[in-house]
Chain A
Amino acid sequence: MYAKKKWLSLLLFALFAVLSFLALFPFFCLLLASFKPSTELLRYGLNLQLQPEILSLNNYYYLLADGRIYFVWFSNSVIITVLNTALALLFSSMVGYALAVYQFKWRNIIFATVLFVMMIPIEIILLPLYKLIVSLRLIDTYWGVILPFVVSPFAVFFFRQYAIGIPRDFIDAARIDGCTEFGIFFRIMRPLMAPAFGAMAILQALTSWNNLVWPLVVLHSEEKFTLPIGLSSLLTPYGNNYDILLSGAILSVIPIMILYLVFQRYFISGLTVGGIKG
């Protein structure tokens, strides 16, 4: 029995080692390519030999020296991600909390609407939404990117599930102490829902940081681009921008990885508790 268990563990370990290699190998390719001159990449593609004689930090140097526009994109992405995540967390948690805690007339209809919106991909209404943003004079602005997504139906659903699991006694006790309804939410429920906020913060920031389609439609001037649009504009068939593209791609992954590693604990536990139950 013991031998069998050991044998199984080794087999599983080997299987997951191979899978992890497949998952991480592309990162290695990108990292390697970012140290190679773009002329070499254009002529021969990325070969996997290390070729220490041609590896250099030149691509990173170009990025710092000539990449002013890259850092404009970077800060645009940071601003949009931070604003969008903060607002989406605030509003979605409010809605989810209300749906979980209060009995009110429109509750079921609103919850059904949340489920409906979860099923409607935004791409379908790309065009009318674009026209709406134009008529609101929000085209080519951060708010044009952010406003349609200040409430995330997925996050609402998630916060609702989470809030249902929190005992009502906390709320009743706060009411007896004279706390306002808003005070209950901000001072009592917000800390109690911290793991849910952690999980949703990662998911929202990830979505917003990596979002391509909607910002591509809204943002037109190069100075307003976010990282995904900016980087994709460097993805030309001629590869003349490979130097900045590769080092820039590496730098763009780093913030979100740090965020993930910092919040990972919340992320997993939040997903588990608030997760989809049947």
Chain B
Amino acid sequence: MDRQVSAPADSKTVPTKPTRLRSFFHSQKMAPYFFVAPFVISFLLFMLYPIISAFYMSFQEILPGEETFVGLKNYQALNNEHFYAAVSNTVIYTIWTLIILIPVPLVLAVLIHSRFMLAPVLFRSALFLPALTSIVVGGAIFRLIFGEMDTAPMNTILIKLGFSPQQWAMEGGTAMFLMVALASWRWMGINLLYFLSGLQNIPKELYESAEIDGAGSLSKFFRITLPLLKPVTIYVLTISIYGGFTMFTESYVFWTNHSPGDIGLTLIGYLYQQSFENFNMGVGSAIGIVLLVTILVINIVQLKLFGQFRREE
């Protein structure tokens, strides 16, 4: 049945008949298909089918028991102020997280990794601890710290420093600050670990030979560290971009998806509102498709720019 059945197994002292079942268990041809089956099934059922049906639904008006094809109407319905608020919040939030959550942890990782660092393990763990909290717990804490009363921690500090207290969750600028601050607090340690793991894979000899050639710290950083961290950086950039574009929970924990004047509305928040609160499933699907296309385009552009994700064997 199968040429590759390992002969030695049968020629051993135990004289067992090579039944079909036995040869299946020894078949190097069949085994990989068995191993990848769970992924293939779950991909087809829980990813490909939903993507296709989202695409289909985005051209339909869906009422209970009644689905009508409405062409591009759902996409045209996105031409409204809530959608634009969601797009602008999402883009601004993503840009802020990219500005903060890539260079800062990169530099911190280089510092922790340097030979001047005392107690690196201790500080690494301390900075990682926030990553262990759920977004809900993080949100609860930030609501306490950034409470609107004058006696709440952050306002107390502002007043002491001579500034006026803020209604943090009520105005656009401070609302964005809250979301970015919460994300930075929770994600800094994770990105730090990614960069640290990248640094540990850089051979020490490179630095040694650079030192012999008389390279200073800065030129070592820009000529060796930075280029060799490129794969990790691109990975972190990729997950940060889609993390930013699909942000929802950082807003949900402050306003339960209903912020004053849409100051905390994000694309996924809007998708959630339309789909599960207003039951405009067609419009909800259209938002999903717009996001999907956006993310794919950004990813492809980025992969082209950096020529990355080519597999190494």
Report A's interface with B, CB cutoff 8 A: 5, 8-9, 12-13, 15-16, 19-20, 22-24, 26-27, 29-30, 33, 41, 44-48, 91-92, 94-95, 97-99, 101-102, 104, 106-107, 110-111, 113-115, 117, 119-121, 123-132, 147-148, 150-151, 156, 164, 175-176, 178, 180-183, 185, 206, 209-210, 212-213, 217, 227-228, 231-232, 235, 245-246, 249, 252-253, 256-257, 260, 264, 268, 271-272, 275-278
Say whether, besides A19-B127, A271-B197, A8 and B116 are in contact (CB < 8 Å).
Answer: yes
Say whether, besides A151-B42, A271-B193, A15 and B271 are in contact (CB < 8 Å).
Answer: no
Contact A45 B152 (CB under 8 A): yes
Looking at B94-102, B118-126, B204-212, the stretch in contact with chain A turns out to be: B118-126
Contact A127 B284 (CB under 8 A): yes
Q: List 14 A-B contacts (CB under 8 A).
A: A5-B116, A12-B117, A23-B185, A106-B36, A119-B238, A123-B291, A124-B54, A125-B50, A126-B268, A127-B284, A148-B42, A182-B25, A231-B137, A268-B193
Contact A26 B26 (CB under 8 A): no
Task: Identify which of A24, A45, A114 contacts B144 (C-beta below 8 A).
Answer: A45
Main DSSP-derived SS at the A contact region: helix
Number of contact residues on B: which range applies?
35 or more
0/1 string, B142-159, CB within 8 A of A gives 1: 111101110111011000
B228's nearest neighbour on chain A, judged by CB, is A278
Main DSSP-derived SS at the B contact region: helix
Residues of B within 8 A of A26 (CB): 130, 138, 141-142, 145, 185
A165 to B52, CA, bound (A): 37
Say whether, besides A12-B111, A26-B145, A249-B140, A125 and B253 are in contact (CB < 8 Å).
Answer: no
0/1 string, B243-275, CB within 8 A of A gives 1: 001101100110010000000000010011001
A249's nearest neighbour on chain B, judged by CB, is B137
Task: Identify which of A97, A181, A246 contacts B27 (C-beta below 8 A).
Answer: A181
- Additional 14 contacts, C-beta under 8 A, given A12-B118, A24-B129, A213-B268: A16-B112, A20-B126, A23-B129, A23-B189, A44-B149, A45-B149, A45-B151, A104-B33, A123-B248, A126-B268, A147-B42, A209-B134, A271-B194, A275-B197
A183 to B24, CA, bound (A): 12
Contact B136 A129 (CB under 8 A): no
Residues of B within 8 A of A13 (CB): 118-119
Say whether, besides A29-B144, A125-B47, A264 and B197 are in contact (CB < 8 Å).
Answer: no
Task: Identify which of B39, B148, B189 contacts A110 (C-beta below 8 A).
Answer: B39
Contact B311 A111 (CB under 8 A): yes
Task: Identify which of A48, A111, A260 contacts B132 (C-beta below 8 A).
Answer: A260
A278 to B43, CA, bound (A): 26
Say whether, besides A8-B116, A210-B135, A95 and B35 are in contact (CB < 8 Å).
Answer: yes
A110 to B309, CA, bound (A): 15
A33 to B232, CA, bound (A): 39
Is B80 interfacial (CB-CB < 8 Å)?
no
Contact B275 A126 (CB under 8 A): yes
Residues of A within 8 A of B312 (CB): 277-278
Residues of B within 8 A of A12 (CB): 111, 114, 116-118
Contact B132 A206 (CB under 8 A): yes
Residues of B within 8 A of A102 (CB): 28, 31-32, 35
CB within 8 Å of A: which B265-301 residues: 268, 271-272, 275-276, 281, 284-285, 288-289, 291-292, 295-296, 299
Contact A212 B25 (CB under 8 A): no
Contact B144 A41 (CB under 8 A): yes
Residues of A within 8 A of B114 (CB): 12
Contact B201 A272 (CB under 8 A): yes
Looking at B4-12, B70-78, B171-179, B218-226, the stretch in contact with chain A turns out to be: B4-12
Contact A104 B32 (CB under 8 A): yes
Smallest CB separation, B87 vs chain A (Å): 15
A97 to B36, CA, bound (A): 9
Contact B309 A115 (CB under 8 A): yes
Q: Which of B28, B256, B271, B308 has the most CB of A within 10 A?
A: B28
Q: Which of B126, B136, B138 has the most CB of A within 10 A?
A: B136
A46 to B142, CA, bound (A): 11
Smallest CB separation, B21 vs chain A (Å): 10
Smallest CB separation, B301 vs chain A (Å): 13
Contact A128 B129 (CB under 8 A): no
Say whether, besides A44-B149, A119-B299, A213 and B285 are in contact (CB < 8 Å).
Answer: no
Contact B242 A235 (CB under 8 A): no
> Considering the complex of A and B, which 5 residue pairs feature the smallest CB-CB distances, nearest first?
A278-B231, A45-B152, A98-B35, A210-B134, A181-B31
Residues of B within 8 A of A150 (CB): 38, 42
Task: Identify which of A5, A24, A124, A257 contacts B126 (C-beta below 8 A).
Answer: A24
Contact B288 A275 (CB under 8 A): no
Contact A212 B116 (CB under 8 A): no
Residues of A within 8 A of B193 (CB): 268, 271
Contact B156 A48 (CB under 8 A): yes
A217 to B277, CA, bound (A): 11
